Amino acid sequence: MHHVPTIDNIQRAPKVLLHDHLDGGLRPQTVVELAEQTGYEALPTFDVDEITQWFAAATEAGSLEEYLERFAHTVGVMQTTPAISRVAAECAEDLAADGVVYAEVRYAPELSTQKGLTLDEVVEAILDGFRQGAARATQAGHRIRIGVLLCAMRQESRATEIAELAVKYRDSGVVGFDIAGPEAGFPPTRSLDAFEYLRRENCHFTIHAGEGFGLPSIWEAIQWCGAARLGHGVRIVDDIDIDEDGNATLGRLASFVRDRRIPLEMCPRSNVHTGTVPSIEQHPLALLRRLNFRVTVNTDNRLMSQTSMTHEFDTLVQQFGYTLDDLQWLTVNAMKSAFLPFDQRLALINEVVKPGYAALRSESLFGTVADHTTSLISRA
């Protein structure tokens, strides 16, 4: 017997988010209010409905470069410490309300230095905001553990400086490092010094790779730079052959990624919006899940991609018939892959994630007979 999860089940299920951009998840209302408060005049409109639509147009972008253009205006309103803290606090609250129990949210501090803030001030404002937001979420009945991944922008040359910042704040809420921005023309080895430094410092890092560019980018991220996880990693399917009977043959790189259990931070809806995959239906997530890669599901940019963890999971339920068991598998994968000490990961899996899914499964055993005929479907 398999329980087909309802949207309410999915919303209440404990979820783990490893790939979400702070500047990709602002509330539209907050964008407008912060623009007014901080004197940012370049917003295309100050009407909340219109700005919502304007950001949502990113869903039609079709290329990573065009998708990324929308960030100029979220970054534009994140140039003071109160503004950054507010964005971070609301992020923690919104994720918690969506049932996310553990999150690693990323941001490139260098983007918030346009009006003179230092990198340290930016990081401290984020951490302060997360503390406030997590406290408010607890009061509202939703507990969340939230940390920061510091990004360097691939097209700039500040990766080592940002890597040093990640090490400096590693005991204060920064859990690791990443590089983001346009992928084509900016290979991971461009930042090799930063990754070598992080390895010497025993610091965790992930790399956006296999989204806007293909296998060479994934290969460099893993074999040259030593990434512990892959941001997206979608193009790893280019190294997998499927014959007419559906049998898969893995190339050496795909085998390595699977053998080493390298987590793929997949962001299904964002991948459609950036033109990385043509549709959710054709997203390689289902194949990679079937082949037992360590797949995780993420939001990437909740504002630009009009999404949430609940929405991403619901999309998979609708598209691939995923059950609560599948959603638990994806969540445990994500929790296993977090940049958190191992004992804490284990505790969250055993004391929060598994009991949460067990409670949802047991709910389906009760209720009326009529409920059961509609909510329980036998796939045996």
* Cβ distance to Zn ion smaller for residue 217 or 364: 217
Which of ligand 2ND, Zn ion, none sits in contact with 124, Cβ below 5 to 8 A by type? Answer: none
Which tokens is 145 given?
């553990």
Q: Is 183 in the site for Zn ion (CB under 5 A)?
A: no
**Residue 19 marked ligand-binding:** yes
SS (H, E, C) 7-58: HHHHHHCCEEEEEEEHHHCCCHHHHHHHHHHHCCCCCCCCCHHHHHHHHHHH
Q: Exactly one of 104, 211, 220, 312 is catalytic; which is it?
A: 211
The interface region with Zn ion, picked from 26-34, 188-196, 296-304, 306-314 by CB under 5 A, is 296-304
Total number of residues that touch ligand 2ND (CB under 6 A): 19
Q: Which residue bears the tokens 């890597």?
A: 163
Q: Is 90 in the site for Zn ion (CB under 5 A)?
A: no
Which of 76, 133, 181, 268 touches ligand 2ND (CB under 6 A)? 181
Q: Is 326 in the site for ligand 2ND (CB under 6 A)?
A: no
**Residue 23 marked ligand-binding:** yes
Q: Is 71 in the site for ligand 2ND (CB under 6 A)?
A: yes
The interface region with ligand 2ND, picked from 16-24, 36-44, 159-167, 277-285 by CB under 6 A, is 16-24
Q: Is 178 in the site for Zn ion (CB under 5 A)?
A: no
Distance, CA of 344 to chain centre: 20
Find out whether 54 and 28 touch, Cβ atoms under 8 Å. Answer: no
Find out whether 162 and 151 touch, Cβ atoms under 8 Å. Answer: yes
H helices of the chain, where?
7-12, 28-38, 48-56, 64-68, 71-76, 81-97, 119-139, 159-168, 192-200, 215-219, 252-259, 268-273, 285-290, 309-320, 324-337, 342-348, 354-363, 369-375
Q: Is 106 in the site for ligand 2ND (CB under 6 A)?
A: yes
The interface region with Zn ion, picked from 90-98, 295-303, 312-320, 365-373 by CB under 5 A, is 295-303
Q: In sequence order, what are the beta bridge partners of 229? A: 206
- The secondary structure element, H or E, covering residue 297 is strand 295-297
* Cβ distance to ligand 2ND smaller for residue 23 or 94: 23
Provide, rounded to whole angstroms, the least separation between the CB of residue 208 and ligand 2ND.
5
Q: Is 312 in the site for Zn ion (CB under 5 A)?
A: no
Q: How far apart are CA 187 and CA 185, in angstroms?
A: 6
Q: How far apart are CA 95 and CA 123, in angstroms?
A: 20
Look at residues 3, 4, 55, 60 and name the one whose alpha carbon lies nearest to residue 30. 55
Provide, rounded to whole angstroms, the least separation between the CB of residue 22 and ligand 2ND.
6
Binding to ligand 2ND, residues 235-264 (CB under 6 A) = none
The interface region with Zn ion, picked from 48-56, 160-168, 300-308, 321-329 by CB under 5 A, is 300-308
**Residue 142 marked ligand-binding:** no
Find out whether 17 and 95 touch, Cβ atoms under 8 Å. Answer: yes
The interface region with ligand 2ND, picked from 35-43, 101-109, 129-137, 219-227 by CB under 6 A, is 101-109
CB-count burial class (<10 Å; 0-12, 13-18, 19+) for 374 = exposed
Q: Is 300 in the site for Zn ion (CB under 5 A)?
A: yes
* Cβ distance to Zn ion smaller for residue 20 or 124: 20
Provide, rounded to whole angstroms, the least separation between the CB of residue 282 and ligand 2ND.
18
Q: Is 21 in the site for ligand 2ND (CB under 6 A)?
A: yes
Assess whether 36 carries a catalytic annotation: no
**Residue 300 marked ligand-binding:** yes
Q: In sequence order, what are the beta bridge partners of 176? A: 149
Q: In sequence order, what are the beta bridge partners of 297? A: 266
Distance, CA of 67 to chain centre: 16
Can you say which residues are annotated as belonging to the binding site for substrate? Answer: 21, 23, 181
* Chain positions contacting ligand 2ND, by CB under 6 A: 21, 23-24, 64, 68, 71, 75, 106-108, 111, 151, 180-181, 208, 211, 270, 300-301
Annotated active-site positions, please?
A: 211
